[in-house]
Structure 1
Amino acid sequence: MDNFCIVTNRNKDINLEITNYIKGYLEKNGKKCVIAESEKIRDDKHTGKEFKSAIPKDSDLCIVLGGDGTMLQAARSAAIYDIPIIGVNLGTLGYLAEVEKNGIDNALEQILAGKYEIEDRMMLDGSMGDKKDYCLNDIAITRYSSISAIDYNIYVNDLLLCTYHADGIIVSTPTGSTGYNMSAGGPIVEPSANMILITPICPHTLNSRSLVLSSKTKVEVEIGSFRDNIGQKVVASFDGCGIIEMTTGDRIGVQRSNMTTRILKLNRVSFLQVLGEKFR
């Protein structure tokens, strides 16, 4: 690896002290390193705005400084060019960010020595008509302004499977299982697995459970009708960034993406060990 870039959450490395330290370390070892700027982009396919990082496409590795939110932002850009990423945790839990601040030197030594593995993580594509987006963690489909629960009709491979009367629906990857999915009571899954998780948010029934489906499954979520034929406004959010607005009768299709997020791994510690440490 010769070409590096750094994506930094400037709210967590305000004076770029850690960013510049890593950049200097790499350059002293004969490597090229640039700091990727984050920019706010308006996409006509979406109704909202999103942040993306200007990661050079010739980068061999993207080092991400921040928390899981910064990792997800960087993943959206890095996946386009098939660039691996590694996270330095400047946040709290940091399930995606493997390196802690006190382990930066050791991590950089391992990277330069080639002592690492690269793990491919599946992503999801979501589409409604000509509106499309993708994510590493999840697509959260939630009510836009109403305080009432909404019916979400779940179709699997074109067949109606069930209806959730809930505040929202989370369609998640295994990587995203420790995010919003876990907070909503969904199952925790080994992140290197290949499957699609569907979890209702605050279901208004006693027997609603998460669904665990094959990664080859085509999922569709339809916004059901409301009493007195009142239309419902709903928003589908992709990793908290890209947004697609929906209303009653709209149906969004979700399936495994052709893109993957490549995460560079330094430790051979199992996912369960990491999970246990985060819970302590």
Structure 2
Amino acid sequence: MTQSTPISRIRLQGGPVGADLSPLETADDAEVVVAVGPDAVVDAAHTPNETPILAVDVGDDRQGTTREGLEAAAGALAEGAYRGVTHPVLGVDVDGERVGRAVLDVTLMTSEPARISEYALAAEGERLFDARADGVVVSAPLGSAGYGRAAGGPIVAPGGGLSVVPVSPFSTRANQWVVPGPLSLQVERDEGAVSLFLDGEERRQVHPAEPVEISVVDEFTCLRPLVSGSPELEKH
């Protein structure tokens, strides 16, 4: 296993951590942002700098660590036992207009509970599915253990593409996809208003025939501590 540069200075974002992070120290010139919780991870990823992020409690400790594992993770960073993993930032356009960016997931959802709409997915010019469902969630790898997984989707490894999962589909045999992107979603028919959410924040309503284009527009680095039980350590 190749040793990385030991880390000594961190900045905490979100929290509280409830853990002893020594020998790491908080500092303005931090080498790593320890972002606790999904909101803190999203904020850190959107910050215009290249400081790596240690994601805490984003739903899957294979993407970072948990609060319970934070002390061991701090020790691993201090020893240089970690690896950097690149994650995408998704740009989202509706009908040709940029709406915003997402780090974890992009969701189309009927605004009223239990109202079904019809959605279509296309990637690289090929129509992949039509689904009648309450909504559709597109998850980046870092967010794939969150809402997408709760809707029945897979956990996607870093670099593995974007998962696309219908939410509460009308058919019990609705397809799920993992695609490299870019991709396009469209409301084909709505039986109620459909809202667009970026990382859980509602941005606007989407009407039939308004394409929602999702593409990778930027990237950021997360650190994965190599602690006891990590697959990378088990190989050595």
User: TM-score, with normalisation over the residues of structure 2?
Assistant: 0.78
Q: Which residue of structure 2 aligns with residue 131 of structure 1?
A: 98
Q: Which residue of structure 2 aligns with residue 258 of structure 1?
A: 217
Return the letter of the residue paired with 1:33: A
Residue 9 of structure 2 corresponds to residue 6 of structure 1: no
In 2, are the aligned partners of 1:84 and 1:262 still within 8 Å (CA)?
A: yes
In 2, are the aligned partners of 1:146 and 1:233 still within 8 Å (CA)?
A: no
Return the letter of the residue paired with 2:117: I
1:75-105: CA deviations, max 9, x gaps?
4324x3232111445x98766441544652x
In the alignment of these two chains, the number of paired residues is 224
How many percent identity over aligned positions? 17
CA RMSD, Structure 1 to Structure 2 (Å):
3.1
The more displaced of 163-172 and 148-157 is 148-157
Aligned partners of 1:95 and 1:219: how far apart in 2? 26
In 2, are the aligned partners of 1:152 and 1:165 still within 8 Å (CA)?
A: yes
Residues 2, 210 of structure 1: CA spacing in aligned structure 2 closer, same or farther, 3 A cutoff? same
Aligned partners of 1:211 and 1:87: how far apart in 2? 25
Aligned partners of 1:88 and 1:175: how far apart in 2? 11
Question: Where in structure 1 are there 5+ consecutive unaligned residues?
Answer: 35-57, 274-280
Question: Where in structure 2 are there 5+ consecutive unaligned residues?
Answer: 1-6
Residues 187, 85 of structure 1: CA spacing in aligned structure 2 closer, same or farther, 3 A cutoff? same
Return the letter of the residue paired with 1:164: A
Secondary structure at the counterpart of residue 111 of structure 1: helix
Shift of 1:212: 2.0
* Greater relative CO (CA pairs within 8 A, separation 6+): 2
Equivalent in 7, 24, 33 of residue 62 of structure 1:
33
Shift of 1:206: 3.5
User: TM-score, with normalisation over the residues of structure 1?
Assistant: 0.67
Q: Which residue of structure 1 aligns with residue 3 of structure 2?
A: none
Matches of residues 47-196 of structure 1 in structure 2 within 5 Å? 59-65=30-36, 67=37, 69-78=38-47, 80-89=48-57, 96-101=63-68, 103-104=70-71, 106-128=72-94, 129-145=96-112, 147-189=114-156, 191-196=157-162
| Bigger proportion of residues as helix | 1
Q: Which residue of structure 2 aligns with residue 219 of structure 1?
A: 183
